[in-house]
Chains A and B, each alone.
Chain A
Amino acid sequence: MSINSWGNYPKINNNSIKFNTIDDLKNQLKNHSEIIACGNNRSYGDSALSNNIIQVKPFNKFLDFDQKAGVLHIQAGVLLADIIKYFVPRGWFLKIVPGTKFITIGGAIASDVHGKNHHIDGCFSESTLEFSLMLPDGQIKLCSPSKNQDLFRATCGGMGLTGVILDAKISLRKINSKFISQTTIKTENLEDTFAAFEKYNSEKYNFAWIDCFARGKNLGRSIMTIGDFADDGQLDYIPSQKINIPFFLPNFTINKFTAGMFNKLYYYQTKQQISHQKLDLDAYFFPLDGIDNLNRVWGKSGFLQYQCILPKETAFVGLTELIECISRTKLGSHLSVLKKHGKANENYLSFPLEGYSLALDFKMNNGLFKHLDHLDQILQKYGGRIYLTKDARVSKQVFERGYPNIEKFRELRKKYKMSQKFNSLQSHRLGL
């Protein structure tokens, strides 16, 4: 059976490769000319798709934990969900988590993922002390911000194109509760929303659900949540149960689904403008994980996620124009996520930069690519960029304009002969 990405688009036939030992893996690299690592296939687009895919997920042993320093050493296939399951009861949590906990450590590093605290704590690489990387010839290099720095900078956010991440040391944060104290703020328009992000900029976690269908004076209305771990000593965490979507839902239901979700949130859950809640960490960080196979609501033809980021100087005008365009066509999901980001790091291809990011889903259909190209033009006009781990279609030109360090990345790939071994549909498409 072929491996698909989270968006179920594009689909290609591929050969899935497993390995048990490091020597095994070396041999596999020797025997295949075109290969890419994959974790848990939670990336939406074509970053982890190739003719030959190495499955790193079964390579998932916990290797060591330094209690004093809070440093965890794990193999690259370990899921964030497992770290949370075993370490929350002992008072530890990951420093950075994305909106799903079902990703591997390798995937977290390769996409240099970010979470609701990017404005304070940065990307996953900022919690990564070191990792070992297998190069095309089977050599293993230890990489950190000080050792083999070029490989570290290229691999964090490098979408698997520098080699196979084998294991990593990451640093955890201390917590004293499995609950999050959350404050929810309802805003009327984009100006309001930006003001709220500024006002709550020193809060640990914040993000907003934004209504991409609202127009005119309501354009940019949102529900923003801010929060941090409570301090009540309750650590008896048990991962929450999931609801399963066993079939691909028929095509027409999706907009009803997300519109319904938004309305429910906006009108019922937050009757007052500002309200306070205490909720389980799973419900706070990973609301979408509550539904298993969520990607099936979009139907068999698959879907795309469009996630872009605009520098803070142009974010307001840029977002206004983007949302106007999205609301006019009504092609996207009703519900999308807005997040204010902190400073960019020095990794060559990491996505976040200081400004605002917007993420929303689009069901695959005929007119879609044209519409997204249009969004790209707006993005380009305002100096923005696209998130590679969500992407399956952006043009080479739009991509390159957004990532000024791409040449450094290409040179490094050439130098280590990576471009002759590690490739994905995405790397071919964008000449990475």
Chain B
Amino acid sequence: MPYLLIIGAKSDIAKAIANKYAENGYDLYLAARNSKELETFAQDIRVKTDKKVECLELDILDFASHQDFYNNLNEKPEGVASAVGYLGDQTESQKEFNEAQTIINTNYTGVVSLLNVIASNFEARKSGFIIGISSVAGERGRQSNYTYGSAKAALSAYLSGLRNRLTASNVAVITVKPGFVDTQMTEDMDLPKALTATPQQVADDVYNAQVNGKNIIYTRWFWKWIMLIIKTIPEWKFKQLKL
């Protein structure tokens, strides 16, 4: 059975994606920091689906390790899904460049470093799919989270370029733009229930998008329309809003 490699596998969204793909016949590589902590989760999927699940150690900020990490995979995956991300503290990131750098490197630079390696392999063998989880926060910078937002904007642009490059090689690239999702990342926030997706809904949307050959999806779907409205607000007006 083909493998799916999941990066940032401890995230709630990643876990839902892991379940979804195992249920649909995939074996799994789960890559994360302190991946030992994923063992109970991995065993749960093994018992439920009878699929192979391996937990692998990966730090997305350790750029130099990425080539070896991928080389060490015995069987190369059919697809990869990246869920790594770091929201960080916006105010802190304005004062301490360290924080800004962690946000940028986790959401963008690190993902580029690893996906570059994987993309070349997929390109050479002329098959595969790459799912990148970006965010609606990358669509327009807002004072409350623009360090994170700008890194996600860069990631979206990177994925779009990658798609442009890999289409000729029969490799699909899917950009996922979640709105609000109820996860550890947003645990302390008071999110509007009607606009907030469950990780399960995101995983369903991601899987359907990949199977149906979609390029860019918003999840839940209505975020496409919400973002359309937000993007049409003229800049002179937008800059005065408290967002």
What is the bound-complex CA distance between A65 and B43, given in angstroms?
A: 10
Which residue of the partner chain B has the closest CB to A73?
B47
Query: Which residues of chain B from 105 to 126 have a CB within 8 Å of any chain A CB?
Result: none
State how many angstroms separate the Cβ of A319 from the closest Cβ of chain B.
43
Task: Decide if A90 is an interface residue (CB 8 Å cutoff).
Answer: yes
What is the bound-complex CA distance between A73 and B40, given in angstroms?
A: 13
Task: Decide if B57 is an interface residue (CB 8 Å cutoff).
Answer: no
What is the bound-complex CA distance between A67 and B143, given in angstroms?
A: 56
What is the bound-complex CA distance between A86 and B22, given in angstroms?
A: 11
Instruction: Assess whether A86 is in contact with B49, with CB atoms less than 8 Å apart.
Output: yes
A64: B residues at CB distance < 8 A: 43, 47
State how many angstroms separate the Cβ of B115 from the closest Cβ of chain A.
31
Partner of A63, one of B43, B49, B50: B43
Task: Decide if A374 is an interface residue (CB 8 Å cutoff).
Answer: no
Which residue of the partner chain B has the closest CB to A75?
B44
A63: B residues at CB distance < 8 A: 43-44, 47
B47: A residues at CB distance < 8 A: 62-65, 72-73
B41: A residues at CB distance < 8 A: 61
> A35-74 vs B: 1/0 string, CB under 8 Å?
0000000000000000000000000011111000000110
Instruction: Assess whether B49 is in contact with A61, with CB atoms less than 8 Å apart.
Output: no
Instruction: Assess whether A86 is in contact with B43, with CB atoms less than 8 Å apart.
Output: no
What is the bound-complex CA distance between A73 and B50, given in angstroms?
A: 14
Instruction: Assess whether A61 is in contact with B43, with CB atoms less than 8 Å apart.
Output: yes
A61: B residues at CB distance < 8 A: 40-41, 43-44
Query: Which residues of chain B from 1 to 51 have a CB within 8 Å of any chain A CB?
Result: 40-41, 43-44, 47-50
The interface on chain B, measured as residues whose beta carbon lies within 8 A of the other chain's beta carbons, has a size of 8
Instruction: Assess whether A62 is in contact with B50, with CB atoms less than 8 Å apart.
Output: no
A72: B residues at CB distance < 8 A: 47
Of A63, A73, A82, chain B has the most CB atoms within 10 Å of the CB of A63
What is the bound-complex CA distance between A82 and B44, given in angstroms?
A: 12
What is the bound-complex CA distance between A61 and B44, given in angstroms?
A: 5
Which residue of the partner chain B has the closest CB to A67?
B50
What is the bound-complex CA distance between A72 and B43, given in angstroms?
A: 13
B50: A residues at CB distance < 8 A: 90
State how many angstroms separate the Cβ of A100 from the closest Cβ of chain B.
21
State how many angstroms separate the Cβ of B176 from the closest Cβ of chain A.
25
Q: Which 7 A-B pairs have the closest CB atoms?
A: A62-B47, A86-B48, A61-B44, A62-B44, A65-B47, A62-B48, A61-B40
Q: What are 20 A-B pairs with beta-carbon distances under 8 A?
A: A61-B40, A61-B41, A61-B43, A61-B44, A62-B43, A62-B44, A62-B47, A62-B48, A63-B43, A63-B44, A63-B47, A64-B43, A64-B47, A65-B47, A72-B47, A73-B47, A82-B48, A86-B48, A86-B49, A90-B50
B residues lining the A interface (CB < 8 Å): 40-41, 43-44, 47-50
Extra A-B contacts (17), CB below 8 Å, given A61-B41, A62-B47, A72-B47: A61-B40, A61-B43, A61-B44, A62-B43, A62-B44, A62-B48, A63-B43, A63-B44, A63-B47, A64-B43, A64-B47, A65-B47, A73-B47, A82-B48, A86-B48, A86-B49, A90-B50
